[in-house]
Amino acid sequence: MLMHVDVSFVNALSGQREMVTSGSIVVSRPAMTLLERVPLQLDQHLNRYTAATAISEAIELAKKYQYAQAQQKLMTAVEKIQKSISSEEVRAPFSLYRFSSSDAIL
């Protein structure tokens, strides 16, 4: 159930104040994701959000000494951003470096 709606009004014929309460209102969502083209600028902002969220979560994991999970979180975000529609449109002045376990500093 999402909500109930109460409508209060004055009946024009009787002049009496009346109230009607709805039953449960439910909003259903499709089980599958809807594929839709998003504007390039919106996709770039979504990528920024994805990156910032992944970095924040990776930092929290690293604080708990869960370095492998932190690295995986970052790599998943990189892969998602690379697959986005804006990844080919804008070339950043830097490149992404793919870390391997041999690069880890212990």
Per-residue model confidence (pLDDT) at position 88: 79
- Determine the average pLDDT of the residues in 48-52: 94
CA 34 to chain CA mean position, Å? 14
Banded pLDDT at 51 (limits 50, 70, 90) = very high
Pairwise pLDDT comparison (65 vs 102), residue with the higher score: 65
Kindly report whether the global pTM for this prediction surpasses the value 0.85. no
Measured between its terminal Cα atoms, the distance across the chain in Å is 52
Neighbours of 72 (CB within 10 A): 14
Pairwise pLDDT comparison (72 vs 10), residue with the higher score: 72
Domain boundaries, the chain: 37-85
